[in-house]
Chains A and B, each alone.
Chain A
Amino acid sequence: MSIFNGLAAVEEEILKCMKCGNCQAVCPLYKESRQEPAVARGKIRLAAAVLDGRLKPAETLARRFDLCLTCLACVATCPSGVKVDRIILAARTAMVREKGLPFIKKTAFTGLSRPHLFDLGIKTAARLQGVFFKRLEQEKMQPRFPLGLELRRIVPPLASVPFRDRVAETHKVERPAATVAFFTGCMTNYLYPEIGQATLRVLKAHGVNVIIPRMQHCCGAPLLYNGAADMAREMAKSHVDLFGSIRARADAIITVCGTCGEAFKHLYPELLDTTPGYGKKAREVADRIMDITRFLYRLPFNPNLFRAPELSITYHQPCHLGRGLGVVQEPLSIIRSIAGVIYQPLKEPGRCCGNAGSFSLTHYDLSYRVLAHKLRDIKSSGAQMVITGCPACRMHLNDGLTQEQMPQKAVHTIEFLAGILAER
């Protein structure tokens, strides 16, 4: 039974929790509040209480389940191997089934689930953003009004032309070493087209054909992580259809965002398990999904294509990329194989930056407090630049680095690589 069909699917997981409380040692939210409902053990007990009827779904209860970054730190440390994220997602989905979504989330997710409407909306917003945001620098804007964003928050501008509208659908090289399908994700498409461009350049330099299927849209992860599984099902199906159809032509489906990767790798098969005609197909697509750095690493990566960077670097490991998809060593191996790279590791590279997607919209203050730990870690590393494998982490890190007036800039791993390509 799927976790998106109710809490009963995670009964075994709930039972496995022996309440030892080891999750307290690693939960970034618990470290801030030091209150039991913030930590996995607390939320698992709440899920147990819902399951056996002692608690009824309620908006107040839903708020407790919202209080999780899904950073998977507890999962990695749990002695009993409880998959806490599955319990959280099941609980959130169960809450939404019973109580519905808050108005703002419902509106936003309805938008995301209608690709054409969403695309049009973003493009319109891109034209109008000057009215609502003041431009600080090329890449940084601050809201003029509280538009559901904190006024102090620094965000990137929407791309005037989205990435997928800028580039051709297929990019061929002579004597290709491989062919990949590229799932860009929304943040790359609408906020950071430079990540998409960088991906194309690095892949081209490695002799890889790239297909960027036109009909792709939001992976649905924001919906799935917020309990709106029913709204996400059609989104998942369309991607399984789309990427399933080019599966035979592509050696891999690459992503540049750990969360998009998680959606394809783990959430789609779960969501579509019992949808007629989609279970097997979703698993086949999941088998092909791969983070860009893992793909390059296995290709194998050619360090000789790159020249020594000018700045010393450090690496922030995105939660869904590292603990979710298990991509831990690949980015580091790649970076360190390039001659002249000065890598100054963080003390806790895998500690969540606090963004967690929509969590930073609904809980910005808490999200920023979690970020503060990361910023301190970056500062004490002495590195001059931060590299990370996720556009959302990149945004959050730059928000904090700007607000704290730190000199470092955060870029995606693939942007860093494209920036030091020897042949420009």
Chain B
Amino acid sequence: MSIAQAIEALRRELGDENVITAVEDLFCYSYDATADLPEQRPDVVVTPENVDQVVKVVKIARQFHLPVYPRGSGTNLSGGTVPVKGGIVLSTLKMNRILEIDPSNLTATVQPGVIIQDLNNAAVQYGLIYPPDPGTVATATMGGSVAECSGGLRGLKYGVTRHYVMGLEVVLASGEVVRYGGKTVKNVTGYDLVRLFTGSEGTLGIITEIIVRLIPAPQARETMLAGFNDLAGAGNAVAGIIGAKVIPATLEIMDRVTVETVENYARVGLPTDAAAVLLIEVDGIPEVVKSEAEAVKRVVVQNGGWIKTAENDEEREKLWSARRAALPALARRKPTTILEDATVPRSKITDMLLALEDIGRRYNLVIGTFGHAGDGNLHPTILADARDEEEMKRVRGAVEEIFRTALNLGGTLSGEHGIGIAKKKFLPWEAGKAGMQVLKKIKQALDPDNLLNPGKIVDLEEDRA
């Protein structure tokens, strides 16, 4: 029962073209987009072309007791696809067909390897959109983003991935194939396992087909940029906009460090004396958009801010370019970029921003914070140099404190990146002892041999030892 035998079996079942074993290639599946994690090479990478081949992989994995790590584009930020215990990386990238766009039921059925943007491009021809909009929309797969339940810039108004997943086909650790949910809006048949598998990070099953909800594309939108001289003003404006019964599609914030960095890098005309800027976009029916934009402007001015509106697509693009430049600009200041996603209730945004400034000062670190103020999901981005071990120690200390602060404010460890291995050790802080036991029982029930993406979210071995 050796790895070599397992590889031979995989070659027999999937064909040589779907089994990768060259050491140089395996190196390229030993990481994902997460910073400050050790790399680990898998023993083999497989690229199944259909669900039958996925089943075969799982059966061979069972036979040889090899872990299986589902992997899309490997753009996640939690270490979710790193094959920490060796074994088989299962790339879904060859299962990349959009099976159907159904405009009468407003659904799309896709294979897991479809890139989110490709689905959007297909949907737009029907006047529809798939709203979840993570920063990796042009690279991430549907399978990966469902498994991670990714969020994005439109969470406040449109929700996140889980709000759009209607049905799933999943290969279980047993090798059986199950389907839950479907095209119906209403479905209370049994436990809501669609929700369970969405965000399960590949630890409970391998997603092989996805039915998602699409919505009509908004007819109009208005994009605005607001600046504030103090953080509290920006925070209060966020609360005020919601208080005025306006739910913007986008309500993004950038703090002083981010604004300065963006302006130095991209020269998009941001005022570097601003303590924070907000990017606000309202969308929908033209008349509603107009009145909502008026309300937003009123609130901003009431809170001591200035606001400018994009008059055309070109200006809109310019405002967005400032926001889009946030991560690139920050990433260029120092070689190592640690991007966190601790999330708090919207009403605590100001507290969180002030706490982050304080943490940056106390740990003597550059932290630029930007993110989705409208849904409380901030991205404190720590800039460091991985070669400086002393600095990295401070980084890890600051990260811990960021998590504690978010939890103290009634928030959560992760808004949209997931737990994976990066946040695994902090999970008990939020879930508690009994909560952890439930998570582990779910994992054990569905994957008793711990074959599917082991070492992520929960550890089963530790308890046995």
Contact = CB atoms under 8 A, between A and B. Distances in A.
A and B are partners in one complex rather than unrelated chains? yes
Interface of A: 12, 15-16, 18-22, 24-25, 34-37, 41-42, 45-46, 49, 54-55, 58, 60-61, 64, 79-81
Given A16-B335, A18-B336, A37-B28, A81 B328 contact: yes
Given A20-B75, A25-B139, A79-B328, A55 B27 contact: yes
Contacts of A55: 23-24, 27
B136 interface: yes
A21 B74 CA distance: 7
Given A19-B32, A37-B24, 12 more contacts: A15-B336, A15-B386, A18-B337, A22-B138, A24-B139, A25-B138, A35-B25, A36-B74, A46-B24, A60-B22, A80-B337, A81-B331
Contacts of B75: 20-21, 24
Interface in B1-54: 20, 22-25, 27-35, 39, 47
Contacts, number: 90
B24 A79 contact: no
The DSSP consensus for interface residues of chain B is loop
B72 to A, nearest CB: 10
7 contacts: A15-B336, A15-B386, A16-B335, A18-B336, A22-B138, A49-B27, A79-B327
A95 to B, nearest CB: 12
Contacts of B136: 20-22
A21 B77 CA distance: 11
B369 interface: no
Contacts of B91: 34-35
A18 B24 contact: no
A52 to B, nearest CB: 11
Interface string B206-225: 00000000000000000000
Interface residues of B, number: 38
The 7 closest A-B pairs by CB, nearest first: A79-B328, A42-B28, A36-B28, A25-B138, A34-B93, A21-B75, A15-B335
Contact of A45 (B31, B327, B386): B31
Given A19-B31, A25-B138, A34 B96 contact: yes
A24 B73 contact: yes
B94 interface: yes
B47 to A, nearest CB: 8
A79 B335 contact: no
Given A55-B24, A60-B24, A79-B328, A22 B139 contact: yes
Contact of B335 (A12, A35, A46): A12
A83 B20 CA distance: 28
Interface in B107-131: 113, 117
Interface in B383-399: 385-387
Contacts of A12: 335
Contacts of A64: 24-25
A22 B75 CA distance: 8
A46 B27 contact: yes
A376 to B, nearest CB: 15
Contacts of B32: 19, 21
A202 B103 CA distance: 55
Nearest to B335: A15
B222 to A, nearest CB: 27
Nearest to A33: B93
A19 B33 contact: yes
A134 to B, nearest CB: 34
A34 B332 CA distance: 27
Contacts of A36: 25, 28-29, 74
Nearest to A25: B138
Nearest to A42: B28
B422 to A, nearest CB: 13
A46 B39 CA distance: 12
A309 B115 CA distance: 41
Contacts of B22: 60
A366 to B, nearest CB: 15
A207 B74 CA distance: 56
Contacts of A35: 20, 25, 28, 47, 91, 93
Nearest to A58: B24
Contacts of A61: 24
A54 B38 CA distance: 13
B53 to A, nearest CB: 15
Contact of B35 (A18, A25, A41, A60): A18
A208 B29 CA distance: 55
B95 to A, nearest CB: 10
A18 B31 CA distance: 11
A413 to B, nearest CB: 27
A148 to B, nearest CB: 25
A12 B336 CA distance: 11
Contact of B331 (A18, A25, A34, A42): A18
Nearest to B331: A80
Contacts of A34: 47, 91, 93-94, 96, 113
Contacts of B117: 25
Contacts of B29: 36
A382 B73 CA distance: 34
Contact of A21 (B27, B30, B33, B113): B33
A80 B332 contact: yes
A212 B35 CA distance: 53
A36 B139 CA distance: 12
